[in-house]
């Protein structure tokens, strides 16, 4: 009986943690969208380290390598990096 109670308690704890993480991720995404809008409004552009090298890879048609280089330079996720490289093309 004690084992079942502890198992239920652990499951509820994990559920609560996951819920808080999901909420934090949604909040971070909302803040990021707002920051992007502010930067766009102020006509500010994010500086990309090694941008010239990434652009050169795009021009050579080496998109996969350009995405990889962008991810390494910025720490961006795969989708974000792919979209950014597509904008550089």
* CB contact at 8 A, 58 and 87: no
Q: What is the pLDDT of residues 31-57, one digit of tens each?
A: 989 998 999 999 998 788 889 999 999
pLDDT value for 50: 87
Average confidence (pLDDT) over 64-77: 94
Measured from the Cβ of residue 74, the count of other Cβ atoms closer than 10 Å reads 17
Distance in angstroms (rounded) separating the CA atoms of residues 80 and 86? 10
Place of tokens 């652990």: 10
Place of tokens 């990434």: 54
Name the token pair of 21.
């993480």
């Amino acid at each position: 009986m004690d084992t079942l109670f502890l198992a239920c308690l652990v499951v509820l704890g994990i559920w609560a943690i996951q819920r808080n993480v999901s909420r934090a991720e949604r909040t971070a995404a909302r803040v990021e969208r707002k920051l992007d809008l502010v930067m766009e409004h102020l006509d500010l552009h994010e500086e990309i380290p090694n941008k010239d090298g990434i652009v050169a890879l795009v021009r050579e048609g080496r998109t996969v390598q350009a995405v990889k280089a962008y991810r390494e330079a910025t720490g961006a996720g795969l989708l974000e990096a792919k979209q950014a490289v597509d904008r550089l093309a």
